[in-house]
Amino acid sequence: MNREAIERYLEEAKETQLEQLKEWLRIPSISTLPEHQEDVLRAARWLADHMQAIGLEHVTLIPTEGHPLIYADWLHAGPDAPTVLVYGHYDVQPVDPLELWETPPFEPTVKEGPQGPDIYARGAADDKGQVFVHVKAVEALLATEGRLPVNVKFIVEGEEEVGSPNLTQMLPQLQEKLAADVCLVSDSHILSPTQPVIIYGLRGLWAGQLTVTGPRSDLHSGSFGGIVHNPNQALAELLATLHDEQGRITVPGFYDDVRPLTPQERELLAQVPYGEEEALAETGVPALYGEPEFTPVERTGARPTLEINGMWGGFTGQGFKTVIPSQAQAKISCRLVPDQTPERVYQLLRDHLEAIAPPTVRVTLEDFGGGLPALVDLDVPQMQAAVRAYEESFGATPLFTREGGSIPIVALFQQVLGAPVILMGFGLPDDNLHAPNEKFHLPNFYRGIRASIVFMRKVARG
């Protein structure tokens, strides 16, 4: 009965939902550009007004030092019903290079693609389209049933593209307001329209800067070459101690806090269709690198790394200058996995560098901080609810994977709210996030709304 009613509702609402999404996408809420500050606020107000209109309550723009947070809820599911917190963001990336866009980034345009219609616009997939999925799910349930199977809270921020500085800072004081049994985040992609995937782990991050100082000023390499340890060379020698030949990190203690992959996880990750061949084709490297005892998916998702993201010293222009520089520097970052912490990794790396630093130079390691990794227990019932949600809406059982990148807010939600975070993405790998011609696959938008409804129902049943 309910099912039929809601199916009929969703079918009839498709055009309206699309037009509403287009209206929101027309607002250029680019959070990194000060000249768009008003637009960012306009996009926040648009969503808040819309939330109010569909029956969400306590709709508030929470002011921050930057762009406001949007809060809304519906809390009438009953005292024993679980609470779902939906997180997303209404800010978008800049659009340059504009000349590479085939349709204007803020004039949403539907075009037929090989797998069905796509909507092209900045923010279509990242993240307005995916946020709107859940708003439309709530609307459909309220419109057809007058109630939701669970309590729902929304927190939608306007600073994700600038690193969520204010939400991060304010989360502890919002702890009670946002208290929930599960957080639902739709800001990622699945493998294909017919192959959903659930990201159950995200790597954390530590970043810092290594400085090697030799002579008090740059020296002529003719006059001083042979008696001074060139800081470029000393830096290279230090950096070369950080990995063994097979790519294992050789900083003592680095792997001590790494939670081993379980046999169950290795089995799940082995099903992700991304291996050596795909990685070679995607990157163009002559051969892959890294811990041979792990697969590419494991190495990028479930194993920590140490990368030299930048390195510089001496003369780097055209031609030549025979200089021994006073300093050489490197930007280093580590991707972390549970139970590593940025603090501990910094300490281990600093200890190692101090222990091996030669007496001929001065070595310092600056700490830029970082974020914790996140891992969601595969066995929590909400994870099963997500699986069923995908199955019923996409018609396929999702795979499970761990993502190599970092979304620090996810670990923070887990930590501060004490609730599992379910990453239920509806984007596709070729959605051109942060690039020209961003798009969102419309069948995924509509399937997503159904998935969100199923998820709420399944969570309600525990």
Q: Does 457 bind a copy of itself (CB under 8 A)?
A: no
CB of residue 402 to a copy of itself, shortest distance in Å: 11
In one-letter notation, the amino acid at residue 62 is I
Interacting positions 224-283 with a copy of itself (CB under 8 A): 224-230, 232-233, 235-237, 239-243, 245, 247, 279, 283
Q: Which is nearer to a copy of itself, 34 or 222 (CB)?
A: 222
Which H or E element spans position 377? none
Instruction: Considering only the stretches 193-201, 360-368, 372-380, 416-424, report the one whose residues sit in contact with a copy of itself under the rule CB under 8 A.
Output: 360-368
What is the rounded distance in angstroms from the CA atom of residue 259 to the CA atom of residue 375?
Answer: 10
Per-residue binder mask for a copy of itself (CB under 8 A), 296-325, x = binder: x--xx--x-x-xxxxxxxxxxx--xxxxxx
Nearer to a copy of itself by Cβ, of 104 and 314: the residue is 314
The answer to whether 33 and 48 have CB atoms below 8 angstroms apart is no
Task: Select 17 or 340, whichever has its Cβ closest to a copy of itself.
Answer: 340
Q: How many CA within 13 A on the CB side of residue 406?
A: 24
Can you tell me the distance from the alpha carbon of 413 to that of 157, in angstroms, rounded to the nearest whole number? 14
Strands 421-423 and 182-185: parallel
Q: Shortest gap between Cβ of 291 and a copy of itself (angstroms)?
A: 7
- Residue 376 C-beta: closest distance to a copy of itself, Å: 18
Residue of 69, 178, 219, 345 interacting with a copy of itself (CB under 8 A): 219
What is the chain's Cα-based Rg? 25
Q: Cα(108)–Cα(437) distance, rounded to whole angstroms?
A: 10
For position 123 contacting a copy of itself by CB under 8 A, the verdict is: no
**Residues 362-401 close enough to bind a copy of itself by CB under 8 A:** 362, 368
**In contact, 26 and 107? CB cutoff 8 Å:** yes
Residues contacting a copy of itself: total by CB under 8 A: 79
User: What does the alpha-carbon distance between residue 251 and residue 242 come to, in Å, rounded to a whole number?
Assistant: 6
* Residues within window 47-106 making contact with a copy of itself, judged by CB under 8 A: none
- CA atoms of 294 and 34, how far apart (whole Å): 44
To the nearest whole angstrom, how small is the minimum distance from the Cβ of residue 371 to a copy of itself? 11
Binding of residue 327 to a copy of itself (CB under 8 A): no
